[in-house]
Amino acid sequence: MKQPIGVFDSGYGGLTVLKELVRQLPQYDYLYMGDNARAPYGPRSFETVYHYTLQCVQWFFSQGCELVILACNTASAKALRTIQQNDLPGIAPEKRVLGVIRPSTEIIGHYTKTGEIGILGTTGTVSSQSYPIEIARFFPGLKVYQEACPMWVPLVENNEYNKPGADYFIQQHLNALQAQSPGIDTILLACTHYPLLLHKIRAYVGEHTTILSQGEIVARSLIQYLQNHPNMEQRISRGGGRQFCTTDSVADFDNHASIFFGEPVSSSHIDLS
Ligand code: DGL
């Protein structure tokens, strides 16, 4: 694989995004890396998430990636803008790093009839205010309500998400979000892990509520981006290669990864230090 598209996440969750990228754009090579050794990113400070994410982006560049997608909402919220504006011009002016927030915020207004949106994410994503700020740029009239769901990532990571105990935490946060306004008719799952909870989330929202997962949105946005940037498109290698790396245990990664990616995964260990 010469110049694969790099797909980054704090751990396994970004595989839900990679799965959609591979489905909609199968012709390209992909290199996925999960920083499992330092996950979760959700509760960490701005400085730490930025520092970790930049280090991972530099690793992707060292592997030949011209384009890196931060499939992690927390990294997109806390590190992307600084990397794009402050770091890239100095370290790799020709390369690009994209996130998952902009693709979601630039279309979300098309789904709501009431003009009221709910955002579910990690504590870090919610406290960064990235979603309300970005949505206001594209759809200034929308009302945006947020709810941090700190228990949802551990439920998925510990394989408890299909069990009855998960319902308590799922209902708790959906009730808290919907209590902020009865008018919310569109909910964005602004965390890589939440699509795995979709069937349970459905049970606790009104039947007319639209629930959006990001994988499909990010894939459609990447198709558009590559059409608009043919110079970048030509620099990405083709051949359908998929390579998976983790900063932690390969056995753990491979065990979890198939849940997120939907097919068996065989990863390699990397050491960032
Ligand atoms: N990947 C993170 C996100 O989408 C969730 C897991 C974590 O907190 O590291 O926000």
88 and 110 together in one domain? no
Q: What are phi and psi of 116, to 5 degrees?
A: -125, 125
Give the model's pLDDT for residue 157.
Answer: 87
Please indicate whether residue 267, judged by its CB atom, sits closer than 6 Å to ligand 1: no
* Mean pLDDT of the 68-97 span: 97
- Half-sphere exposure at residue 89, Cβ-oriented, CA atoms within 13 angstroms: 4
pLDDT over 80 at 273, yes or no: no
pLDDT over 70 at 236, yes or no: yes
pLDDT digits (tens, 9 = 90+) for 133-176: 999 999 999 999 999 999 999 999 888 999 999 999 999 999 99
Pocket mutation for ligand 1, best pick of 72, 123, 188 (most atoms within 8 Å of C-beta): 72
CA distances 57 to 34, 71, 152, Å, are 11, 12, 26
Which of 171, 190, 214 is at the close of a domain?
214
189 and 234 together in one domain? no
**Cβ contact 262:21 at 8 Å:** no
143 and 192 together in one domain? yes
- Per DSSP, the residues of the chain read --SPEEEEESSSTTHHHHHHHHHH-TTB-EEEEE-GGG---TTS-HHHHHHHHHHHHHHHHHTT-SEEEE--HHHHHHTHHHIIIIIHHHH-TT-EEE-SHHHHHTTGGGT-SSSEEEEEE-HHHHHHTHHHHHHHHH-TT-EEEEEE-TTHHHHHHTT-TTSHHHHHHHHHHHHHHHHH-TT--EEEE-STTGGGGHHHHHHTS-TT-EEE-HHHHHHHHHHHHHHH-HHHHHHS-BS--EEEEESS-HHHHHHHHHHHHSS---EEE----
Pocket mutation for ligand 1, best pick of 35, 69, 74 (most atoms within 8 Å of C-beta): 74
Q: What Rg do the C-alpha atoms of the chain give, in angstroms?
A: 18
Reading the block at residue 151, the tokens are: 């228990």
227 and 96 together in one domain? yes
CATH of the domain at 255: 3.40.50.1860
Question: Confidence class of residue 2 from pLDDT cuts 50, 70 and 90?
Answer: confident
224 and 91 together in one domain? yes
Task: Please give the number of the atom of ligand 1 that sits closest to the Cα of 39.
Answer: 9
Which of 195, 214, 233 is at the close of a domain?
214
* Mean pLDDT of the 72-94 span: 97
Give the model's pLDDT for residue 83.
Answer: 98
Question: Confidence class of residue 89 from pLDDT cuts 50, 70 and 90?
Answer: very high
Give the model's pLDDT for residue 1.
Answer: 60
20 and 84 together in one domain? yes
Which of 214, 237, 252 is at the close of a domain?
214
* Mean pLDDT of the 211-232 span: 97
Mean pLDDT of the chain: 96
Sheet strands side by side (includes 143-148): 143-148, 116-121, 186-189, 210-212
- Tell me which residue range forms the domain holding 248: 5-100+216-269
Q: Whose CA is nearest to atom 8 of ligand 1?
A: 42
pTM exceeds cut of 0.85: yes
C-alpha to C-alpha distance for 173 and 167, rounded to whole angstroms? 10
CA 245 to chain centre: 17
Catalytic hit among 56, 65, 191, 245: 191
265 and 185 together in one domain? no
C-alpha to C-alpha distance for 94 and 117, rounded to whole angstroms? 36
Q: Which of 174, 98, 107, 94 is nearest to 138 (CA)?
A: 107
111 and 203 together in one domain? yes
125 and 161 together in one domain? yes
Domains held by the chain: number? 2
C-alpha to C-alpha distance for 244 and 31, rounded to whole angstroms? 6
User: Among residues of the chain, what percentage have pLDDT more than 70?
Assistant: 100
Reading the block at residue 29, the tokens are: 């090579």
pLDDT over 90 at 245, yes or no: yes
176 and 144 together in one domain? yes
201 and 238 together in one domain? no
Please indicate whether residue 39, judged by its CB atom, sits closer than 6 Å to ligand 1: yes
Please indicate whether residue 34, judged by its CB atom, sits closer than 6 Å to ligand 1: no
pLDDT over 70 at 185, yes or no: yes
Please confirm, yes or no, whether 191 is among the known catalytic residues. Answer: yes
CA distances 169 to 173, 228, 269, Å, are 6, 42, 33
Catalytic hit among 65, 72, 149, 245: 72
204 and 261 together in one domain? no
